Amino acid sequence: MPKKKPIKLNDQQLTLDASRVADIYHQLTVDLFDQVIDRVRERGTASLEDNPYLWQLEKMSEMGLLNNANVKLIAEYSGVAEEQLRYVIENEGYKVYKDTKSQLLEALGSNGNFITNNLIQTNLANYANQTMGDLDNLINTTLPKSVRKVYQGIIEETVAKVVTGLETPQKAISTTVIKWADKGFYGFTDKQGKQWRADTYARTVINSTSWRVYREARMAPAKELGIDTFYYSMKPAAREMCAPIQHQIVTFGETRVEEGEKIYSLLDYGYGSAGGCLDINCHHTLTPYVVGINYKPDLPDHLANLTPEEAIKNANSQSKQRAIERSIRQSKELLHVANKLEDDELISKYKGQVKARQAAMRSYLAQHPFLHRDYSRERYYSDPLREAEAEIKLRKQQKKKAGDPTS
């Protein structure tokens, strides 16, 4: 009897790199709001105090200048983001497919040559085109309109506060800008009527696409080779529909027993429906598994004896951690706005808020030791645009060095 072989769990670099592209769109919205602040604060508040309505007319007359600056910024960011996202989906997606197929051929003992399925490359290109179509509409149509609406809203509300004597001109600008910064730029309204911020919607589109691409690139080789069984990944936290099938062998067909090994049907765990296994918010992975040839990977100590009930409980705890992370990022964003406004009172307020929420995170993690702190989730701003530009430049240099005519 031949010795069984372990399955190889590929890394998830594709989804990580896609998330970094989403960071570019977030940075775009931050920089667009900075331009709004600069335009509102230009030439100070003297005319706002002397003649609020004249100040309003002057600021609204500068809308065209703001639009021109926005168009230039959007073109710079979206061009880099599109090139990077297409590379991630089409090239890294194909690499996942190729690696997975090679691993399966090795497991099956095939000595034949690797044969590429051109359909997978077509499908990856279609994913990229569809995703960019959604993002183009958001970034080039919806976002510019939203920026104009925010700018107009800030001007009108500031004037109203000054005219009614509610606040001083400087205070009126600060409180109004902070309010609109917290709200963000509108991006999309879903079927339930929920309004999404532009950067949040862009991230959702990119992340959901990257996970679909990753899974299809893993499953396509299995389908080509007649394999319909997969290893369902194991995490310390899992939702109700995923927890029972973690570290199990699953199929898209019916539940069965094969060579003494139980194979669970994904259909019994809500596959294809909202809230079910592998839905839009699920980050479990499927690894092709050849029954009778492969064996499941060994689990580390902290996962080996984890029950489905404990995984579900951990997922609830983890969701609260994500909420604290979002609150920290939000406070850091508002601190950035306060610094742009040069408002000492607001700077002090949001510095204190950042510290308080970071303390809340430390306390929460101390109560839930299975969780770990991921500082990247608390960071609201780096420079993903320049990082992406550097990667694109490096790829072109490497292609040129290799004599690639497309470089």
In tens, the pLDDT along 190-232 reads 888 999 999 999 999 999 999 999 999 999 999 999 999 999 9
pLDDT given for residue 170 in this prediction: 96
pLDDT digits (tens, 9 = 90+) for 146-170: 999 999 999 999 999 999 999 999 9
Name the pLDDT band for 353 (thresholds 50, 70, 90): very high
Name the pLDDT band for 109 (thresholds 50, 70, 90): confident
Name the pLDDT band for 111 (thresholds 50, 70, 90): low
Name the pLDDT band for 406 (thresholds 50, 70, 90): low
Q: Is 175 a residue whose pLDDT tops 60?
A: yes
pLDDT given for residue 114 in this prediction: 66
Element (H, E) at 187: strand 186-189
pLDDT given for residue 1 in this prediction: 44
pLDDT digits (tens, 9 = 90+) for 240-284: 999 999 999 999 999 999 999 999 999 999 999 989 999 988 999
Phi, psi of 361 (to 5 degrees): -65, -45
Which of 106-115, 165-174, 303-312, 377-386 has the weakest average pLDDT?
Answer: 106-115
User: Which of 95, 80, 92, 82 is CA-nearest to residue 130?
Assistant: 82
Please report, rounded to a whole number, the percentage of residues in the chain having pLDDT higher than 90. Answer: 84
User: How many whole angstroms separate alpha carbon 357 and alpha carbon 171?
Assistant: 26
Please report, rounded to a whole number, the percentage of residues in the chain having pLDDT higher than 70. Answer: 97
Q: Is 11 a residue whose pLDDT tops 80?
A: no
Q: Are strands 249-251 and 229-232 parallel, antiparallel or unpaired?
A: antiparallel
Strands (E), 337-396: none
Q: What average pLDDT score do residues 125-146 get?
A: 95
Q: 304: buried, middle or exposed (CB in 10 Å: 19+, 13-18, 0-12)?
A: exposed
pTM of the predicted structure, to 2 decimals: 0.91
Name the pLDDT band for 127 (thresholds 50, 70, 90): very high
pLDDT given for residue 132 in this prediction: 96
